[in-house]
Amino acid sequence: TDEPLILGIETSCDETGIGVVRGHTLLADAVASSVEEHARFGGVVPEVASRAHLEAMVPTLERACETAGIQLRDVDAIAVTSGPGLAGALMVGVAAAKALAVGLGKPIYGVNHLAAHVAVDQLEHGPLPEPCLALLVSGGHSSLLRVTDVTTGVDPLGATIDDAAGEAFDKVARLLGLPFPGGPHIDRAARDGDSVYVDFPRGLTSRKDLERHRFDFSFSGLKTAVARWVEARERSGEPVPVNDVAASFQEAVCDVLTRKAIDAAVTEGIEDILIGGGVAANSRLRAMAEERAAARGIRVRVPRPGLCTDNGAMVAALGSEMVRRGRTPSALDLPADSSLPV
């Protein structure tokens, strides 16, 4: 085809991702993760992540080109996550992207990581419905976005005021003695648990909180409530019912996420909700969102788990839209901006 060939580079957190996309077609998605190096610290260590990106960059790039069956000189444009994310980690990706852009004489597009989590869905389900409401939930962010144009018009409606949803999963998993990252382990444990065993708090859902934080989230109170409950149970000498606590915690998180996402969509008159980020892999979140949205005549799109977690394909997907929609490329002094707003 004559659609442009886009290489995407993602290094905002602990995944070195290189994706190759032509139009809406995914040709390669190579990811190297340093998650195991962070596991013993219970969270991502920025310095460790930066060094891992430096080591993984070229091998991952070679793997992506090989899978896609392309040579670097075939690439029409380079897209790279310029933020938000860990500063040192972003710099590795941005520097690599600039080197490629200069070496190949091709344009570079700095893209927003959150918008890329939205754009990736078109690789799986075709053209994005615009406007759509995006619920982005990962270890680093939890946001509700109104997307009118994924390349220029992404407006935040709300976000977490403390922990990200994935962070809450990881911290509660730790309390329950489950490995890092905890989300998938809680998901699995919850399948054999009773989701109404403990009635954990739903953050920012009281009438008073809704006045100021209608579309915001808070998960630190929930995490503390789980910690207190587990401590009390341990003090009593009785065993902690891990599956039931996992299920009750997960139910509280999913309840708030889906309730607020649907409220936002209804309020904005939007008929499509897109869920992205690592937590979108959660089986209960998917089921609950689909059930509740269907009752309101709203469609839900969730990319497959491999595209929900951080990867290079999402960056290439957004870069591809930038090119298709005639957006201006970035300058070669493109900075890495750890707190880049959408």
Residues interacting with Zn ion, by CB under 5 A? 138, 310
Neighbours of 36 (CB within 10 A): 10
Phi-psi domain of 212 (left: phi exceeds 0; alpha: psi -120 through 50; beta: other): alpha
Smallest distance from ligand KG4 to CB 280, Å:
8
Per CB under 6 A, 182 contacts ligand KG4:
yes
Nearest to 150 by CA among 328, 329, 325, 281: 325
C-alpha distance from residue 52 to each of 97, 139, 150 (Å): 17, 18, 30
Smallest distance from ligand KG4 to CB 176, Å:
13
C-alpha distance from residue 22 to each of 63, 77, 247, 259, 266 (Å): 17, 11, 41, 36, 34
Per CB under 6 A, 282 contacts ligand KG4:
yes
Residue 149 labeled ligand binder: no
Residue 125 labeled ligand binder: no
Query: Which of 129, 183, 312, 319 touches ligand KG4 (CB under 6 A)?
Result: 183
DSSP one-letter code for 160: B
The amino acid that residue 75 corresponds to is V
Per CB under 6 A, 43 contacts ligand KG4:
no
Residue 213 labeled ligand binder: no
What is the rounded distance in angstroms from the CA atom of residue 12 to the CA atom of residue 341?
14
Range in contact with ligand KG4 (rule: CB under 6 A) among 196-204, 239-247, 272-280, 328-336: 272-280
Residue 53 labeled ligand binder: no
Per CB under 6 A, 21 contacts ligand KG4:
no
Query: Which of 19, 84, 278, 303 touches ligand KG4 (CB under 6 A)?
Result: 278
Residue 140 labeled ligand binder: yes
Query: Which of 8, 140, 312, 329 touches ligand KG4 (CB under 6 A)?
Result: 140
DSSP one-letter code for 217: B
Return the one option of Zn ion, ligand KG4, none that residue 193 interacts with (CB less than 5 to 8 A, by type).
Answer: none
DSSP one-letter code for 43: S
Per CB under 6 A, 142 contacts ligand KG4:
no
Residue 137 labeled ligand binder: yes
